[in-house]
Structure 1
Amino acid sequence: MKKRTLLSIFCSCLLITFLSSAHAASPRPVIFDTDMAIDDWSALLVLAMHEELELVAVTSNGAGETRCGPALDNIGALLDLTASGDVAIACGDDYPMDGYFAFPEPWRQQADTLSGIALPDSTRTATEKHAVDVIHTTLADSDQQVVVVATGSLTNIAQWLEKYPADTDKVERLVIMGGAFEAPGNIIVPGFTDNHPNTKAEWNIFVDPEAAARVFASGLPIEVVGLDVTNQVKVTKAFARDFKTVAETPAAQFWDAVLDDNDWFIESGEYYFWDVLAALVALDPAFCQGDMAPVTVSLETGSPWQPSSLRSIPNITYSGAERRHLDAEKSGITRTGGDNPAVKICRKTDAERAFSLFTRTLNQG
Structure 2
Amino acid sequence: MKQRTKVIIDTDVDFDDYMAIVYLMQNPDIDVIAISVTGCGAVHLSKGVENVANLLTLFGNHALKLPVLRGASAPLSFSNVFPADVRNGADLHYAAAFPGVNPSPAIYEAQSWLHDFFMHNDEPVTVLSIGGGTNFGTLFRSAQQNPALKAKLQSGIQQIVMMGGNILPRDISPGAMGNIIPTLGDNVIYRNEVAEWNIFIDPLGAQLMFESGVPLRLIALNATNEVPLDQEFVSKLNAINTPQAKFLSAVLAYPENAAGIGTYLSFWDPLAACTIPLPALVTTEAFKLYVCQELNEEDDQSASLIVDSKHGSRIEVAIAANADAVHAEFLRVLSLPMPDTRHCTGN
Q: Same fold (TM over 0.5)?
A: yes
2:312 is matched with which residue: 321, 340, 350? 340
Q: Distance in 2 between matches of 1:361 and 1:139?
A: 29
Q: Which amino acid aligns with 1:198?
A: N
- Report the equivalent of 1:238: 232
Q: Structure 1 109/192 Cα, relative in aligned 2: closer, same or farther at 3 Å? A: farther
- Report the equivalent of 1:19: none
The alignment's C-alpha RMSD in Å is: 1.8
Offset of residue 301 of structure 1: 4.0
Structure 1 residue runs of 5 or longer lacking an equivalent are 1-21, 304-326
Q: Distance in 2 between matches of 1:192 and 1:57?
A: 37
1:252 is matched with which residue: 245, 248, 265? 245
- Report the equivalent of 1:265: 260
Q: Does residue 280 in structure 1 map to residue 259 in structure 2?
A: no
1:191 is matched with which residue: 182, 185, 199? 185
Assess if the C-alpha contact under 8 Å between 1:147 and 1:174 holds in 2.
Answer: yes
Q: Which amino acid aligns with 1:263?
A: A
Offset of residue 105 of structure 1: 1.1
- Report the equivalent of 2:142: 163
Offset of residue 216 of structure 1: 1.3
SS of alignment partner, residue 289 of structure 1: strand
Q: Distance in 2 between matches of 1:126 and 1:45?
A: 19
Which residues of 2 match residues 155-234 of structure 1 at below 5 A?
155-164=134-143, 165-166=150-151, 167-181=153-167, 182-188=175-181, 189-194=183-188, 196-234=190-228
String of CA shifts for 1:157-190, please: whole Å, max 9, x gaps.
1111122323221011100100011201000035
SS of alignment partner, residue 239 of structure 1: helix
Tell me which moved more, 76-85 or 351-360. 76-85
Q: Does residue 44 in structure 1 map to residue 30 in structure 2?
A: no
Q: Which amino acid aligns with 1:264?
A: A
Q: Does residue 357 in structure 1 map to residue 329 in structure 2?
A: yes
Q: Distance in 2 between matches of 1:62 and 1:270?
A: 24
Task: Tell me which structure has the larger Cα radius of gyration.
Answer: 1
Q: Distance in 1 between matches of 2:120 and 2:277?
A: 21
Q: Distance in 2 between matches of 1:123 and 1:155?
A: 29
Q: Distance in 1 between matches of 2:308 and 2:322?
A: 27
Offset of residue 116 of structure 1: 1.2
Q: Does residue 125 in structure 1 map to residue 99 in structure 2?
A: no
Q: Distance in 2 between matches of 1:163 and 1:145?
A: 20
- Report the equivalent of 2:340: none
Q: Which amino acid aligns with 1:214?
A: L
Assess if the C-alpha contact under 8 Å between 2:95 and 2:250 holds in 1.
Answer: no
Q: Which amino acid aligns with 2:138?
A: Q
Count of residue correspondences: 316
- Report the equivalent of 1:101: 80
Offset of residue 113 of structure 1: 0.9
Q: Distance in 1 between matches of 2:277 and 2:54?
A: 23
Q: Distance in 2 between matches of 1:27 and 1:124?
A: 27
Offset of residue 124 of structure 1: 4.4
Offset of residue 141 of structure 1: 4.5
Q: Distance in 1 between matches of 2:332 and 2:128?
A: 21
- Report the equivalent of 1:150: 129
TM-score by length of 1: 0.82
Q: Which amino acid aligns with 1:273?
A: F
Assess if the C-alpha contact under 8 Å between 2:133 and 2:202 holds in 1.
Answer: yes
Q: Distance in 1 between matches of 2:120 and 2:50?
A: 25
Structure 2 residue runs of 5 or longer lacking an equivalent are 144-149, 168-174, 338-347
Q: Distance in 1 between matches of 2:187 and 2:131?
A: 19
Offset of residue 215 of structure 1: 1.5
- Report the equivalent of 1:64: 41
Q: Does residue 88 in structure 1 map to residue 67 in structure 2?
A: yes
Identity %: 28
SS of alignment partner, residue 80 of structure 1: helix
Offset of residue 330 of structure 1: 2.0
Q: Distance in 2 between matches of 1:124 and 1:295?
A: 43
Q: Does residue 330 in structure 1 map to residue 301 in structure 2?
A: yes
Q: Distance in 2 between matches of 1:87 and 1:128?
A: 11
String of CA shifts for 1:17-45, please: whole Å, max 9, x gaps.
xxxxx3xx121110000110010001000
Indicate the structure whose relative CO is greater, using CA pairs within 8 Å and at least 6 residues apart: 2
SS of alignment partner, residue 294 of structure 2: coil
Higher helix share: 1
Q: Which amino acid aligns with 2:243?
A: P
- Report the equivalent of 1:289: 283
